[in-house]
A and B are shown apart, each in its own frame.
Chain A
Amino acid sequence: MSIFIDSDTKLVVQGITGRDGSFHTRQMIEYGTQVVAGVTPGKGGQSFDGPDGVEVPIFNSMDRAVAETGANTSVIYVPPAFAGDAILEAADSGVHLVVAITEGVPVLDMARAHAFARDKGVRILGPNCPGLISPGKSKVGILPAQIVAEGPIGVVSRSGTLTYEAVFQLTSVGLGQTTCVGIGGDPLIGTNFIDCLAAFEADPDTTAIVMIGEIGGTDEQDAATYVNAELSKPVVGFIAGQTAPPGRRMGHAGAIISGSAGTAEEKMKAFEDNGIAVAKRPADIVGLIQDALG
């Protein structure tokens, strides 16, 4: 099994004709994701030429794309100025999962989008995230498929390349993954650590979890408490940003220590206090997972 996406995922790509959208659509189709539709306003009726002769119909709007193809998941590659609206449109179209890759979406647009999606019962992943991959089943987003393998580890992270680093190391020693999820580096994200931890706990094929956090906010602390109270599966944690100065945004809009809150020390301590094995270096993650699995 896997979480959030699997071989039944039928994907619609919003912004399929853009540079990033078209590149990653090809990558997703090559991996075996069922890309059933694309949306670009004004290009409805055309089709997108994928690899291996795959043709993806393009629609002007999300409601048409969903009505005509039965898409149940959307991925968003549209520029930041339009991403907020694209998310709202997706959440109103009947899909149950909206994966927002776009970086740089104004945070007030996201406040509105998250409220709207909650009302509709739609899950948003991101924004400013690499998406997710369930090895051997489906990939939605931009994660490099070459570094994953099927197996029992669940991976959840606020980062992109740091996640790839951890996943690549796991795969190199033969530890494959059920699903790798990048929840995104923004302050307001739709799916948080706890949502992913709960899903991994419920997934019978996941036997251990890697959780990669960073400075800013209290999501990791809340997740640590949740692990202690609700999880039976072992969790290994890593926090990036021990050397980050307070008050400075470290690349990700959400990676900022405000006053004295959101430091790496405080998060690592919350992990330790709640029975999560803390990796001091990325290279220690694999060993801790192997220890946990016995």
Chain B
Amino acid sequence: MDIHEYQAKERFLAAGIPVPPGEIATTPDEAESIASKYGGPVMVKAQVHTGGRGKAGGVKYAKDAAEAREHATKILGMDIKGLRVEKVLVTPAEDIDTEAYVGVLIDRSTQSATFMVSAAGGMDIEQVAETQPDAIRRLAVDPRYGLLPHQAYWLANFLYEDPGLVKQASKAIAQLYRSFVDSGASMTEINPLITTPDGKVKAIDAKMSIDDNELFRRPEVAAMRDSSSEPPSETKAREAGLSYVKLDGSVGCCVNGAGLAMATMDLVKYYGGEPANFLDIGGSSNPDKVVSALEIITSDPNVRAILFNIFGGITRCDDVANGIVEATQRIDMKVPIVIRLTGTNEEKALEILEDAGFSAYTSMDDVVEKAVQLANG
């Protein structure tokens, strides 16, 4: 789960990291009054879950409150990479001497939280990693000890020469690790971590993604979810316990298992179609889940055909077939459905489906080809 910049800054502040003040505005009026409260120049920053806000015109410098109002008028409601801006952060503009990058993420190869720091701040760190790998210092944190003080110091020494700045940065790095762990994050970054002409280190931008598996034990973090930043169908899927990602194609996919779901989408493409979604319906034959899945898929107006691909292992195919039949009787279907079931008791399942008037298949290729034909035809 991604959280907004202003929310990540709240987490940072709670850990003691120096973050400039800031408030959220949802209207130009609010933006103006926040800016006039701060007095001097401010930044008006779109709060959306994507990078590249600056390039898209979603981050603006305003010399005074009137200009903050103008910028807020333009930015609020703006579309950035398909996401509508509902909120802006208004924060005093800082005088910047240098910009550095400090990030922590879960690294698969070291199986631990890993720091990356660079004096080349303000840039896309992936790009830095590619073009100047020596400009990044990395440290895998041993989960048994956490980040040790001398390690934070070692990272900070890579950013600055000045002992005063190194001291402030090591403290901020240690606090960032604490914030990462206490938030149950999978990634967090300060980009940039700035120094000011008067010798202060500050975090002026903040990013954080939370490990979804942590949410059950961190209600205060879970409460930061902004459902307005995702398609309503994805909110509904999450509430129904389904794993769903909306795409742009016309073949609705309903599959049990994430790997098989991805392979099914790939096969749709292979046969000349475009998948409308990723959807993992899980291992059960519960008709309620099938109903939710069908409601979510059919709420997408691009969907022209629906494809079920179910591998019956422990869950028997005939049970799944009964679940599908019952579910489709409960909702009004306007697009054709084709179904493929294979595995345990597949013959019985085919009989059940054919008796209910469905086209049923046992071959994955056959059913995908048919679904693509229906969607494109």
Contact = CB atoms under 8 A, between A and B. Distances in A.
Contact of B213 (A80, A157, A244): A80
B108 A188 contact: yes
B356 interface: no
B311 interface: yes
A91 interface: no
Interface stretch (B64-72, B94-102, B256-264): B256-264
B144 A142 contact: no
Contacts of B109: 218
B111 A159 contact: no
A129 B208 CA distance: 27
B278 A251 contact: yes
Number of chain B interface residues as a range: 35 or more
A158 B262 CA distance: 12
Contact of A281 (B142, B211, B257, B365): B365
Contacts of B255: 161
B206 to A, nearest CB: 18
A161 B259 contact: yes
Interface in A221-250: 238, 240-245, 248-250
A262 to B, nearest CB: 9
A277 B243 CA distance: 31
A248 B245 contact: yes
Contacts, number: 171
A48 interface: no
Interface in A101-117: 104-108, 110-112, 114-116
Chain B facing A: main interface SS: mixed
Interface in B180-200: 181, 184, 186
A157 B263 CA distance: 13
A129 to B, nearest CB: 11
Interface in A123-177: 142-144, 146-147, 157-165, 168
B143 interface: yes
A107 B112 CA distance: 9
Contact of B260 (A142, A162, A244): A162
Interface in A185-222: 185, 187-188, 212, 214-215, 217-219
Nearest to B311: A161
Contacts of A243: 247, 262, 265-266, 268-269, 275
Nearest to B105: A258
Given A106-B214, A240-B259, A240-B266, A161 B108 contact: no
B13 interface: no
A111 B211 contact: no
B313 interface: yes
B267 A281 contact: yes
A250 B217 CA distance: 23
Interface in B9-60: none
Number of chain A interface residues as a range: 35 or more
B144 to A, nearest CB: 6
Contacts of B106: 107-108, 111, 187-188
A253 interface: yes
B259 A244 contact: no
Contacts of B108: 187-188, 217-219, 254
User: Which one of A24, A164, A217, A259 has the highest number of Cβ atoms from chain B below 10 Å of its Cβ?
Assistant: A164
A287 to B, nearest CB: 13
Given A158-B259, A218-B108, A219-B108, A147 B343 contact: yes
B313 A143 contact: yes
Nearest to B244: A251
Nearest to A280: B270
A284 B184 CA distance: 41
A210 B142 CA distance: 34
A111 B275 CA distance: 35
B258 A159 contact: yes
A255 interface: yes
B314 interface: yes
B161 interface: no
A253 B260 contact: no
Contacts of B257: 159-162, 251
Contact of A159 (B112, B259, B314): B259
User: Which one of B262, B280, B363 has the highest number of Cβ atoms from chain A below 10 Å of its Cβ?
Assistant: B262
A251 B259 CA distance: 8
A169 B308 CA distance: 19
Interface in B276-327: 278, 280, 311, 313-314
Interface in A59-85: 80-81
A81 B217 contact: yes
Nearest to B265: A243
Given A111-B111, A159-B257, A168-B343, A250 B263 contact: no
Contact of B263 (A107, A185, A261, A282): A282
A185 B363 CA distance: 25
A115 B268 CA distance: 41
Contacts of A168: 311, 342-343
A179 interface: no
Contacts of B355: none
Given A146-B343, A261-B126, 13 more contacts: A106-B214, A106-B217, A107-B106, A115-B144, A144-B343, A162-B259, A185-B258, A187-B106, A217-B108, A219-B108, A240-B260, A245-B247, A251-B243
Interface of A: 23-24, 27, 80-81, 104-108, 110-112, 114-116, 142-144, 146-147, 157-165, 168, 185, 187-188, 212, 214-215, 217-219, 238, 240-245, 248-255, 259-261, 264, 280-283
19 contacts: A81-B216, A107-B106, A107-B214, A108-B181, A144-B313, A144-B343, A146-B344, A165-B364, A168-B311, A168-B343, A185-B259, A238-B263, A240-B266, A243-B265, A245-B247, A251-B243, A253-B212, A261-B126, A280-B270
